[in-house]
Amino acid sequence: MKLIIQIPCYNEEDTLPLVLKDLPKKIKGIDVVELQIIDDGSTDKTVEVAERFGVHHIVSFKSNRGLAAAFKAGVDNAIANEADILVNTDGDNQYNGKDIVKLVQPIINGEADIVIGCRPIEENPEFSFTKKKLHMIGSWILRKISNTSIKDPASGFRAYDKNAILTMNIYSSFSYCMETLIQAGRNNLKVIGVCIGVNPKTRDSRLFRNNFQYIWEQAKTMLSIFILYRPNIFFNFIAFIILLFSIMLVLRYLLHVYMSSTPSGAFWPSIVLAGIMLVVSFQIYLTGLLASLISSIRMLSEDTNFRIKNIQISILKDKASQGG
């Protein structure tokens, strides 16, 4: 069984040595442990540090493309190198490398497809009161959308088995954490969380400058992913709200006409507006149907992609056996 530990990096020459030194070299139940760096367009000596520490796989971008793109590239390279388990950690030394054993053990035992390291958010003194509450609200929303019970769904410290690796398809450009969790819930993968420790903060986050940007980016991502995977619920809800307003305008018209002496002609603008809203509601409902059909087609495409990846792995194994 091969484990690849992946570290997306952007200008991490100062903290990368701390991360690499802390990673386990051997784990019971794992035959091979390899390290993988995704250099997201670093302008410092991140790659030189990785080479000096003997990192097995280095994937480099010519320019900074973001965390989601780096994670996707790492997944593709892990598949190409026949990884049975992929662990993702951060290059800022946020997570305790020794906790990787906690992440991979449930996968080794066949108890989970994805294991997420849950940070002690409430006890973390580096999180402000506002950030803790925002994290709590966002985590609750994401649990509902993904149909999982993970306490810290925003954690990037994760382990994936081969099945989870092959089924992942990253569309987001901001962060992969929410998207992969929602995909896992939709594909009925077994997702569990384990408690982990965190190291002292080494630098500010590069994903967002402040809490407002974090909320905005996370809200956009959750909404886009929700529309992507649950379009019928989204569009049907909007259609229902507009239909409800249309019905209220009609009832208002009938109430004034039959319960008062107000001339009926005075409310014709409301009737026209009600008619327009009814048409709009029907059009949005049809849009939801069309989006659901597109979502079904995408699911078939993802299944095809899963099968193609399996074929690619089989071809790689055949070539390796012939070469040996």
**What pLDDT, in 10s, does the model give residues 72-101?**
899 989 988 889 999 999 988 889 999 999
Residues 219-231, mean pLDDT to the nearest whole number? 75
- pLDDT confidence tier of residue 234, bands split at 50, 70 and 90: confident
Q: Which tens digits make up the pLDDT trace of 39-72?
A: 999 999 999 999 999 999 999 999 988 888 898 8
How high is the pLDDT of residue 86?
A: 96
pLDDT at 209: 63
Residue 207 is predicted with a pLDDT of 60
pLDDT tens figures, 243-278: 999 999 888 888 777 777 666 666 678 888 889 999
> d(Cα 171, Cα 228) in Å, to the nearest integer?
9
Q: Give residue 254's pLDDT.
A: 80
pLDDT at 302 over 90: no
pLDDT at 61: 93
- What's the whole-number average pLDDT of the chain? 84
Res 316: pLDDT: 67
- 311 pLDDT above the threshold of 70: yes
| Average pLDDT estimate for 24-44 | 93
Question: Quick one: pLDDT at residue 50?
Answer: 94
- What pLDDT was estimated at residue 48? 94
pLDDT (mean) for 101-116? 94
pLDDT surpassing 80 at residue 220: no
Q: What is the pLDDT of residue 135?
A: 75
First vs last C-alpha separation in the chain? 18
DSSP codes of every residue in 174-197: S-SHHHHHHHHHHTT--EEEEE--
The tokens describing 47, both together, are 């790659």
Per-residue b/e over 38-52, b at no fewer than 16 CB within 10 Å? bbbbbeeebbebbee
> Quick check: 55 and 24 in contact, CB under 8 A?
no
Residue in the structure block whose two tokens are 């077994």: 190
Question: Residue 160: what are its φ and ψ, rounded to 5°?
Answer: -125, 135
What is the spatial distance between Cα 322 and Cα 314, in angstroms, rounded to a whole number? 12
Buried b (16+ CB within 10 A) or exposed e, 199-237: eeeeeeeeebeeeeebeebbeebbebbbebbbbeebbbe
Task: Point out which residues pair with 117 in neighbouring strands.
Answer: 194
116 bridge partner residues: 158, 193
The strand pair at 114-118 and 158-161 is best described as antiparallel
Instruction: Let me know how long the chain is.
Output: 324
| CATH for the 2-225 domain, from 3.90.1640.30, 3.90.550.10, 3.40.50.300, 3.30.950.10 | 3.90.550.10
Grade residue 324 by pLDDT with cuts at 50, 70 and 90.
low
pLDDT, position 238: 93
- The share of the chain scoring above pLDDT 90, in percent, equals 38
Q: What is the pLDDT of residue 102?
A: 93
